[in-house]
Chain A
Amino acid sequence: MSTVTDPEVASDTSGGATRALKQPRRWLGLVLVVVALAVLVSLPFWMPPYPVGLASRILAFALLVVSVDLLTGYTGLPTLGQVAYFGAGAYTAGLVGLHVSTNAFVQLIAGTLAAALLALITGLVAVRTKGFVFLMVTLAIAELAHKQAEAMPLTGGSNGLSTPAITLLPGGEPIRLAGLVYFWVLFVFVLGVVLAYILVKSPMGRSMRGIRDGEGRMRAIGRRTYMVKLVAFTFAGSLAGMAGTAWTAQARFVSPGDMAFALAAIALLSVVLGGAGTIWGPIIAAALVLIIRDYVGTFVDGRGATILGIVFVLAVFLLPRGIAGLARRRNRARAGGTPVAGEA
């Protein structure tokens, strides 16, 4: 264990010797999380409705990005396929809303289960591969799901589905105000991130990182890596499904575009930009990416894609370990603070 040199692993697994040193940092982290939550909860009270809607989209997208990160960052399986489960969750929530119940909890559970089931079935095949081939297989899964959504009458084809507003209590009022929907999306987001955090801190999470850093070694010590990968894949799919239900709740519309290659690509790039193998980095990157695409883009004549592309290209050279790497470098070299690339 002590020979592990990757700082990511060293700090994540918190070996006995570093524990004492890390304690103050852990407090700092906790304080930051509390502050961030306070800001997020108070958002609708001081922001106009449009940015609140954007904030809802960011939270749903960020949860999708976290699910990509569980596979790409923690298990070492680069994926372009999480949009399939995102779409499964989104469509299931929409269809349940249209035909069964507008209750948000019912939709959340149904969408998550549908995505989990789809992830389990497709994962049986996908996790047999790794590296670039895994990337292609997951891309194939996403494209298949995309085409399927376009072809089926049930999903409204390429026109998509308009779905009714959610309700929180049986027989309650439908929730239409952007600020109130935002609270529901925030609830789903926090729930998903907490679940992801519990997973990566568990023995299961340690096995996932073990596979990332050397699958052969894991197998040599008797771990059944296929099962670990399948469980991770199914879990990540469920999270993507949760994100999908939240997406439907805020957009009240689902279309095949929600499963497109472009979304899969920016979800994967958000993980790399944020720093694969941390949870908070990709969340920040997800926010940055959607803000550039949907908000900054409108100020520069719809050229959001160009700016986003430039950010990605620059980040490759300026942020070798992603946004999360910035904080780490700061902590290492207290003095001299590394110059931060002009993004944000």
Chain B
Amino acid sequence: MVNGFALGAVLFIVAIGLSLVFGTMDVLNLAHGSISLIGAYVGVAVLGGGASSAMSFVAVLIAAMIGLLAGVLLAVLTTSVTDHLRQAMLTLGVAMIAGDVLLMIFGGDVKSVAPPPALAGTITVLGAPAPVYRLVLIGVGLVVGIGLWLLLEKTQIGAIVRATVADRGMVEAIGVRTRLVLAGVFGGGAALAAVGGLIAAPLLGAQPGNDNLILLYALVIVVIGGLGSFKGAAVGALLVGQVQTLGVYFLATYASFLMFAVMAAVLLIKPSGLLPAKHGGGGH
């Protein structure tokens, strides 16, 4: 259970970034998984086999910065591309380049990343042993989720972002530079992907192909939860985290089978996902 929640928490952080960008900019960023993999490789480069806890904070900062830059770059690239097929071509093209460059730098083998030493042990929760790092991940997931929710729903910044989504012309008219807002959202979403990839690295390892894997997870979560929906991404991530972890435990070869079966079942019952976004969202 703890493992499932931990995986779910990490996947939530990655998926919410994808959902945020799709919900606000209507861009399906298929390079999202690649940004996560970059985050994981930041872990390899900075932390390697095991480094001090201080270095771990540095790694998080570096990953966030790289993610932010990548997101802003993608935002600039996609501004004039509104057709979804061409967006797919653009972002998948970027993903192919990124994957190949990472392969060139870090090689094809699996690199493992150790969690920070302070978080390496195991403690007993409710009578069952649980790795501290995974518990921390659950906490981080909760903090990110609640923090983002507060940011979007309760602050001025969140109000501007939501208003930009609802009526870009009107927000522009009152003097807000919406392109900056959107670039900021894209950068933030990508930074979440990179940090998610980094803190997931001790669980998933870093290797070529993980970019597609993480992208698949994130897409499935976003579809299960409902496109552009915040709560949906949380529910979807928990569901996928549990299904995936229990699936691997009980019937290893059919684990991803289960995940997609859950998605198919959800879509059959509710074609727009479990908790679709209230405004707009659906019409594609």
Contact = CB atoms under 8 A, between A and B. Distances in A.
Given A261-B212, A273-B89, A312-B90, A130 B284 contact: yes
A311 B93 contact: yes
A108 B42 CA distance: 49
Contacts of A132: 28, 84, 223, 227, 284
B257 A144 contact: yes
A276 B88 CA distance: 13
Contacts of A148: 257
Contacts of B254: 147, 151
Given A144-B257, A144-B260, A147-B254, A312 B93 contact: yes
Interface residues of A, number: 39
Contact of A143 (B28, B98, B260): B260
Contacts of A137: 264, 267
A147 B96 contact: no
A305 B267 contact: no
A269 B89 contact: yes
A106 interface: no
B28 A269 contact: no
A154 interface: no
Contacts of B271: 128-129, 133
A309 B97 contact: yes
Nearest to B263: A140
Interface in B157-181: none
A303 B104 contact: yes
A140 B262 CA distance: 10
Nearest to B80: A317
B87 to A, nearest CB: 8
A38 interface: no
B114 interface: no
Contacts of B253: 147, 150-151
B100 interface: yes
Contacts of B98: 309
Nearest to A271: B85
Contacts of A276: 85
A125 interface: yes
Interface in A282-340: 303, 305-306, 308-313, 315-316, 320
Interface string A122-136: 000100111111001
B89 A272 contact: yes
Contacts of A316: 81, 86, 89-90, 93
A125 B90 contact: no
A309 to B, nearest CB: 3
Contacts of A320: 86
A129 B253 CA distance: 28
Given A143-B216, A310-B93, A313-B77, 16 more contacts: A132-B84, A132-B284, A140-B264, A262-B212, A269-B88, A272-B86, A276-B85, A303-B104, A305-B96, A309-B97, A311-B93, A313-B89, A313-B93, A313-B97, A315-B89, A316-B89
Interface of B: 28, 77, 81, 84-86, 88-90, 92-101, 104, 212, 216, 219-220, 223, 227, 253-254, 256-257, 260-261, 263-264, 267-268, 271-272, 284
Interface of A: 72, 78, 125, 128-133, 136-137, 139-140, 143-144, 147-148, 150-151, 261-262, 265, 268-269, 272-273, 276, 303, 305-306, 308-313, 315-316, 320
